[in-house]
Structure 1
Amino acid sequence: MENTLDTLRNNAVVASGTHVFYTSEDEVPFVPTGQLYVICADDADPEKCQQLLEEHNLEFIEARGERKFIVQVTSESENPIKTAQSLQQSPLITVAEPDLATFGKLKVFTTPLDSLLRDQWHLRNTGFHRGTSQGFLKGADARVIDAWESSQTLGSPGVIVAVIDDGFDLSHPEFVGNGKVVAPRDFTRNSLDPQPDFLQEDWHGTACAGVAVGNANSSGIVGAAPSCRLMPVRWGRDLSDREIENWFGYVREQEAWLVSCSWGAAANYFPLSTRAFDAIAQCAREGRNGLGCVICFAAGNSNHNINDPTSRTLDGFAIHPDVIAVAACTSRDQRSNYSNYGKEISICAPSSGSGGWGITTSDVIGQYTDRNGNQREAGYSIGAYTNDFGGTSSACPLVAGICALILSIKPQLTAAQVKELIQRTARRIGDPASYDNQGHSMFYGYGCIDTASAVKALLS
């Protein structure tokens, strides 16, 4: 080791070479700077002190009094630790302390190594996934991995994403460990266990939650904000005012930061009642200690206008002024053929669609016996993951996860400021003629959500 270090020191490109020291097994490094703080004894002969320091080939840097000095090792000195130890043995010296720079526990950011991350083209589209370039366009993504790298974060555990949906497999590896799940609730069973009803094929919520906050645990998939926490809320038996008040009141009271809603009314024409409107508004404006909960709603998959009363199409949830209405685009930066549209669309986000690919995310695990007595595999696909999730159902939690990442970086933003930020930093896709003078498109909102640009705007 000494020979190697000496060789490095003799190289012209090396300014300094030194050992790294540890005080315990916590792996926190201490690096000598080369300086020492030396105090000579009150009764020490100054000439003998001078001689001692010369013997160790030390150079004076600064005097802190008649007998207190900062000195620097030279090329002829032993390393600072050995020099300090030697000086401490002398009766002429009362203090000989090496200057040690420490940096806390070094947590160098690395991109997650989860095995299915390579298939999650919506986070970073390289143009080649799943063994082919067909159906992919490099850069047709949400720029999530770029944002992780520039911000050096995967999100904060202090940020809680509520997902209101049909059920959640909380035993799934993507949602276990370190207090990942916060305040689970089932409004159908009136319990604290929002597990899926297998006979109802409640696979949707587990897939949505994975897109938003699936763990970075070296296996499976990764959510857009994997270090943020999940509040899983299983919806009630119907879409009444009372239920809507219960759901949004609950997530507000339980201090969710964001709410992801990949659902809407079955009716094509569904104006919100005053009670439902106010319940969402109160959550969006008064939640998070007055900063407001960021609420994302899927625009829907019927390829119709979300606010066209003359054609009897109206989605009261998506057009609520306090929510982020999310449309879908494909792995080739094209509009998803099914995606609803309208003047209230805020943003679009990568998902499935004609000519493109589906989304890889978490899936319900297990087997069950169906109503005909047949043994079935739970979930959309066999196993713990599916490659075929999609619709605005997938685009919505992606936006929610991205907003969670944004709030992890700047938690003092209001819900309205988060909405404005992602709209302002979105990248335009599709036909330029579809955008108006304010930069808004009926089909894409303000464009495809660009996480890297939003984070860059925050960091600057």
Structure 2
Amino acid sequence: MEEVIFGKKNSRRFLLEKNRQLLVVRSQAGRKLDETLRCEKARQALANSELVLHIEDADVQLFKLPDNSDIPQCKALLRELPDVRFAGSALVDPHTQEPVFYTENIFLKFVDRLAPTECLVILDELGLTIKQQVPYATNAFFVHHAHCRGTEVCSFTLQLLERQDVDYCHPEILRPGQRRAIHDNQWHLKKTTVTYQAQVDASANVEAAHVLAQGEGIVIAIIDDAFDIDHPEFAGTGKIIGAKNFDRLNARQGPRPKNPLERHGTAAAGVACANGEAGASGVAPRASLMPLKLTKPLGARAEADAFFWAADQGADIISCSWGPPEGHWADPTDARHSQAFPLAASTRLAIEYAATKGRQGKGCVIFFGAGNGNESVDNDGYASHPMVIAVGACNDQNRRSAYSDYGKALWCCFPSGDQPHPDPKFKPATSIPQTRGIRTTDLSGRFADPINAAYTELFSGTSSACPGAAGVAALVLGVNPALDREQVRHLLADCCDKISHADDGPLGQYDQNGHSHYYGHGRLNALRAVQLALERGKTAD
């Protein structure tokens, strides 16, 4: 059993155990693992094994070996290959048995009182080589120890964390993430009859807000899998700002998708700020888009770099429709429902940098989709961070979407698609969705769907709710850019409509502070949000 502490030395310890049937193989730097494993020795070692996961950017592959495998022999054969850097048992979460990858990179932050030269002297004494001095925290580095191999990195970082001059120290732990979508029209923007004859009055009142504001002058950074920045809804001078690809292997292609599976970011960006000139309007159609492509696993140092980049390049708002793996929303026995997911210190510090230093000190407004597991958002270290606004989903019948996460950290909700709920307490009239999902942008060009080219009506989940809420914040800042992050946060709470349903039970009720575990402070009302922003601007004058 290995232990990792993502916080300070007295913080919770997270346990990881080896799974002997799961084999991790990593290539030497600059070598392609696919090519390395084409030889006869590799085929012999991996005979009848199943490729479970391939993290392309890090060139790591995870295999499940057959039950009758000679596991030591498999490892020995692979280790004989000159281009294989590591071949060993995978670490897994003991609660869910999900794989957890680790690199030999270490995140290390010294206490703030040390001078930069003192940090360098200590690093040299410890035999640590600097891979990156991070810009979002004082005295913080990603480092490497030449003689610390495999799982030794876990115990080594715990030893370093005991030092009085160290604030944080943990291995770079990578976990597969999950986009905040459910399955594969603009009813979320206004009261309307959609094309298949369903009358829907469950919007965030966005069309009415557009009379007063459309997000002019505001930059929304969206961190996601890829972006079709050539889409007509993202055309125009100044629409795309600060685009960057944080995937090392494909950085030159920018944030564009490299295959038709990378379509999630395009849909999320459309919900936030599509121009609305051809087939779909975003909540803030005149806001600029900062598309930041990030497909690395959760916890990678590039994740923190993306938040720093967004703040440093002038983003006002940051929207993230992704997070930890979740339990199945309709299966209450799924063990992942109760899994606590920690936030790497590097990512935490980068989020806090953006939230306090962004916008010339007024702070970037940061949104995360609450999640689609029908479970507590409070276990999600990303969405529950106190400087983050966690957004839930509500459906076309003015109640919580069946999959949407809930809890103390949930701040608000925004209209999105839904799923029929199997629980009998959900009456048919209020449990069967009347709409297919949210209409937004989809891939155009060579990856376009031949039937529904460039648009989709099937976007859903808190993946759609999150950029919708980010768009409302853009409307607010567009009319009152003097508001700081906390003022925007509280304004969004004040503007909400208190939706609920009789079947919700105690979790759907609002407390004396106007908060509900199911709805946060309620469903965002964009018109009311803009009106409040204008009123508070006059008061400040």
TM-score range, shorter chain: 0.5 to 0.7
Find the counterpart in structure 2 of residue 297 from structure 1: 368
Please list the CA deviations of residues 164-202 of structure 1 after superposition, one character each: whole Å capped at 9, or x if unmatched: 000001110011111210011001123361111216x00
| Residue 442 of structure 2, aligned match among 332, 338, 363 | 363
Distance 2:207 2:372 in 1: 27
Distance 2:281 2:358 in 1: 27
| Residue 124 of structure 1, aligned match among 172, 190, 196 | 190
* Residue pairs, 1:399-418, within 5 angstroms: 399-418=469-488
**Secondary structure at 1:284 match in 2:** helix
Find the counterpart in structure 2 of residue 383 from structure 1: 453
* Residue pairs, 1:223-262, within 5 angstroms: 223-262=282-321
Query: Aligned in 2, Cα 1:459/1:342: closer, same or farther, shift over 3 Å?
Result: same
**Secondary structure at 1:386 match in 2:** strand
Find the counterpart in structure 1 of residue 89 from structure 2: none
Find the counterpart in structure 2 of residue 148 from structure 1: 210
Find the counterpart in structure 1 of residue 385 from structure 2: 320
Please list the CA deviations of residues 112-153 of structure 1 after superposition, one character each: whole Å capped at 9, or x if unmatched: xxxxxxx30100023x211412xx442x1111111112x1x3
Matched, 1:202 2:268: no
| Residue 271 of structure 2, aligned match among 211, 220, 237 | 211
Indicate the larger mover: 356-365 or 432-441.
Answer: 432-441
TM-score where L is the length of structure 1 = 0.67
Structure 1 residue identity aligned to 2:489: K
Find the counterpart in structure 2 of residue 186 from structure 1: 245
**Secondary structure at 1:270 match in 2:** coil
* Residue pairs, 1:50-65, within 5 angstroms: none
8 A contact 2:224–2:295 mirrored in 1? no
Structure 1 residue identity aligned to 2:454: A
Distance 2:239 2:320 in 1: 19
Distance 1:300 1:203 in 2: 19
Q: Tell me the CA shift for residue 270 of structure 1.
A: 1.2
Query: Gapped runs of 5+ residues in structure 2?
Result: 1-184, 327-335, 420-431, 536-541
Distance 2:283 2:321 in 1: 16
8 A contact 1:186–1:235 mirrored in 2? yes
Query: Aligned in 2, Cα 1:216/1:425: closer, same or farther, shift over 3 Å?
Result: same
CA-based RMSD of the aligned residues comes to 1.7
Find the counterpart in structure 1 of residue 329 from structure 2: none
Query: Gapped runs of 5+ residues in structure 1?
Result: 1-118, 308-313, 369-376
Find the counterpart in structure 1 of residue 218 from structure 2: 159
Distance 2:305 2:449 in 1: 29
Distance 1:388 1:241 in 2: 30
8 A contact 1:236–1:243 mirrored in 2? no
Find the counterpart in structure 2 of residue 271 from structure 1: 342
Distance 1:362 1:192 in 2: 20
Find the counterpart in structure 2 of residue 47 from structure 1: none
**Secondary structure at 1:289 match in 2:** helix
**Secondary structure at 1:206 match in 2:** helix
**Secondary structure at 1:360 match in 2:** strand
Q: Tell me the CA shift for residue 306 of structure 1.
A: 1.6
Distance 1:447 1:274 in 2: 31
8 A contact 1:216–1:227 mirrored in 2? no
**Secondary structure at 1:419 match in 2:** helix
Find the counterpart in structure 1 of residue 33 from structure 2: none
Of the two, which has the highest radius of gyration?
1
Distance 1:255 1:367 in 2: 31
Matched, 1:282 2:343: no
**Secondary structure at 1:346 match in 2:** strand
Structure 2 residue identity aligned to 1:186: N
**Secondary structure at 1:340 match in 2:** coil
Distance 1:431 1:221 in 2: 30
Structure 1 residue identity aligned to 2:476: I
TM-score where L is the length of structure 2 = 0.57
Please list the CA deviations of residues 35-63 of structure 1 after superposition, one character each: whole Å capped at 9, or x if unmatched: xxxxxxxxxxxxxxxxxxxxxxxxxxxxx
8 A contact 1:172–1:364 mirrored in 2? yes
Distance 1:378 1:162 in 2: 26
**Secondary structure at 1:190 match in 2:** helix
Q: Tell me the CA shift for residue 435 of structure 1.
A: 1.3
Distance 1:277 1:155 in 2: 28
User: Once the two structures are aligned, what percentage of the paired residues are identical?
Assistant: 41
Find the counterpart in structure 2 of residue 458 from structure 1: 533
Please list the CA deviations of residues 387-410 of structure 1 after superposition, one character each: whole Å capped at 9, or x if unmatched: 110100000000001101110000
8 A contact 1:184–1:192 mirrored in 2? no
User: How many residues are paired up?
Assistant: 318
Distance 1:253 1:180 in 2: 18
Find the counterpart in structure 1 of residue 521 from structure 2: 446
Distance 1:230 1:125 in 2: 27
**Secondary structure at 2:210 match in 1:** helix
Q: Tell me the CA shift for residue 382 of structure 1.
A: 3.0
8 A contact 1:125–1:331 mirrored in 2? no
Please list the CA deviations of residues 40-97 of structure 1 after superposition, one character each: whole Å capped at 9, or x if unmatched: xxxxxxxxxxxxxxxxxxxxxxxxxxxxxxxxxxxxxxxxxxxxxxxxxxxxxxxxxx
Find the counterpart in structure 1 of residue 81 from structure 2: none
8 A contact 1:185–1:191 mirrored in 2? no
Distance 1:292 1:435 in 2: 29
Q: Tell me the CA shift for residue 238 of structure 1.
A: 2.2
